[in-house]
């Protein structure tokens, strides 16, 4: 009986078509707000994915105790890989090659192009065992670097804020007062390494005039245990080492960036609030011009709750259309767009969760935005409303 007294579904749809200009403006306003929500949520999801896929559960990182969580500040003896290989059991070996990667990691000023423009880049000195430990790394173009050569990740151009063509194979860039030739490009499945520059460890040590390294990444087999590596670090107090599973390291970085993620969700809340007020403004204008129509519907026998549902239906339809439009734009134009960050660079992720959050907020905007003006209009008496201009 309740539903029999409701206005026909097509009545609300026809109302939107009767006012094409106002409906279009409301649609564009809602789409803009929802698109901003997609950008912020895509940023959060991209950061979380980059940190999540960077860790390998079989890899243990060994670096200096004094570095805390910043590997760039770590400095450990160059003999550490040999000591670990000799003292720790369970390190992965295949075809006589031990899966241990000594690395020198540094943030430094990088100059690209003929104009000498520069940006802060991340450089990692590695050996040929690095791809064995960093299993997500794939050489997509060119060849492994030889003396005086480097390979660059797919997001290095974003990190340096330069034209990707300036980092093509065969081009040269400068860092640490030396010209380096680009021999190849690599990807890492969205991991943090994609914003790094890799070169040969001996070349990097020679250029920096350093004999130490920053970190040792070692891969354990099924019989290996990270606890054994931690025990070795505690026993060798003279080396001042600490060990942590790579997955735990990147989880700690997620905790480190938690305040930023909270702030990003707060931005989502603020944008949603602004969207609600924008929707209220648009709906107030829409309902204000329909006072006589609403009174006429009451006069012919429709109850107030039926008219209220019809007005909310119109707002929800506009919000649903705006959500679909914004979702399509975000999926086609924003998904995978690289952005710079302190840790390097990562790609925006407009995935299923981001679409669910954005569209849910969009529908909420349509419902919440339509309720107050509709309730205000229905509070007026039928006689007063029929006299309204």
pLDDT at 1 (0 to 100): 44
Q: Which residue has the higher pLDDT, 203 or 249?
A: 203
Mean pLDDT of 360-369: 82
pLDDT at 372 (0 to 100): 76
pLDDT over 70 at 384, yes or no: no
pLDDT over 50 at 126, yes or no: yes
How does DSSP classify residue 340?
E
pLDDT over 70 at 279, yes or no: no
pLDDT at 169 (0 to 100): 93
Mean pLDDT of 1-12: 62
CB 190 within 8 A of CB 52: no
Helices 291-299/352-379 angle, 10° precision? 70
pLDDT at 153 (0 to 100): 93
pLDDT over 90 at 257, yes or no: no
Element (H, E) at 178: strand 178-187
Question: Which stretches within 210-257 are classed as H helix?
Answer: 226-235, 246-256
Buried b (16+ CB within 10 A) or exposed e, 59-94: bbbbbbeebeeebeebebbeebbebbeeebebbbee
Q: What pTM was computed for the model? A: 0.79
pLDDT over 80 at 124, yes or no: yes
pLDDT over 60 at 389, yes or no: no
Backbone angles phi, psi at 104, to 5 degrees: -120, 115
Q: Which residue has the higher pLDDT, 372 or 385?
A: 372
**CA separation for the pair 107, 195 (Å, rounded):** 11
List, for residues 209-242, the tens digit of each pLDDT value. 999 999 999 999 988 889 999 999 998 888 899 9
pLDDT at 286 (0 to 100): 62
Judged on CB neighbours under 10 Å (0-12, 13-18, 19+), 332 is exposed
CB 91 within 8 A of CB 98: yes
What are the start-end ranges of the E strands in 230-343? Answer: 241-245, 338-341
pLDDT at 156 (0 to 100): 92
What are 76's two structure tokens?
């450990």
pLDDT over 60 at 49, yes or no: yes
Mean pLDDT of 251-255: 79
Name the pairing type of β-strands 196-200 and 117-126: parallel
pLDDT over 50 at 346, yes or no: yes
Task: Give me the residue label for tokens 């099924």.
Answer: 222
List, for residues 287-303, the tens digit of each pLDDT value. 666 667 777 777 777 77
**Per-residue confidence band for 383, with pLDDT thresholds at 50, 70 and 90:** low
């Amino acid at each position: 009986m309740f539903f029999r007294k409701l206005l026909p579904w097509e009545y609300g749809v026809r109302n939107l078509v009767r006012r094409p200009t106002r409906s279009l403006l409301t649609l564009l306003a809602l789409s803009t707000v929802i698109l901003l929500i997609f950008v912020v949520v895509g940023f959060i999801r991209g950061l979380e994915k980059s940190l999540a896929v960077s860790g390998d559960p079989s890899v243990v990182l060994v670096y200096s105790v004094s570095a805390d969580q910043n590997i760039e500040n770590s400095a450990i003896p160059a003999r550490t890989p040999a000591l670990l290989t000799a003292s720790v059991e369970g390190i992965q070996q295949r075809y006589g090659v031990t899966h241990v990667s000594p690395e020198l990691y540094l943030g430094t000023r990088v100059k690209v192009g003929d104009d000498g423009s520069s940006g802060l880049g991340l450089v990692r000195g590695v050996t040929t065992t690095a791809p064995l430990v960093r299993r997500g790394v794939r050489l997509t173009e060119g060849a492994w670097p030889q003396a005086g050569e480097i390979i660059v990740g797919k997001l290095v151009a974003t990190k340096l804020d330069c034209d990707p063509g300036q980092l093509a194979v065969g081009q040269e860039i400068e860092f640490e007062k030396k010209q380096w030739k680009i021999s190849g490009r690599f990807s890492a499945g969205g991991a943090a390494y994609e914003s790094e520059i890799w070169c040969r460890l001996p070349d990097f040590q020679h250029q920096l005039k350093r004999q130490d390294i920053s970190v040792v990444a070692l891969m354990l087999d099924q019989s290996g245990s990270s606890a054994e590596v931690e025990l070795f670090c505690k026993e060798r107090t003279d080396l001042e080492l600490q060990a942590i599973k790579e997955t735990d390291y990147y989880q700690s970085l997620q905790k480190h960036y938690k305040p930023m993620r909270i702030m990003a969700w707060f931005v989502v809340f603020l944008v949603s609030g602004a969207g609600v007020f924008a929707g209220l403004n648009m709906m107030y204008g829409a309902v204000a011009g329909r006072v006589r129509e609403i009174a006429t519907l009451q006069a012919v026998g429709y109850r107030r709750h039926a008219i209220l549902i019809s007005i909310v239906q119109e707002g929800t339809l506009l919000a649903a259309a705006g959500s679909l439009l914004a979702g399509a734009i975000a999926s086609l134009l924003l998904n995978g767009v690289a952005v710079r960050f302190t840790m390097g660079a990562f790609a925006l992720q407009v995935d299923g969760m981001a679409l669910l959050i954005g569209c849910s907020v969009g529908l909420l905007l349509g419902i919440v935005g339509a309720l107050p003006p509709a309730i205000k209009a229905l509070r007026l008496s039928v006689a007063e409303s029929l006299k309204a201009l």
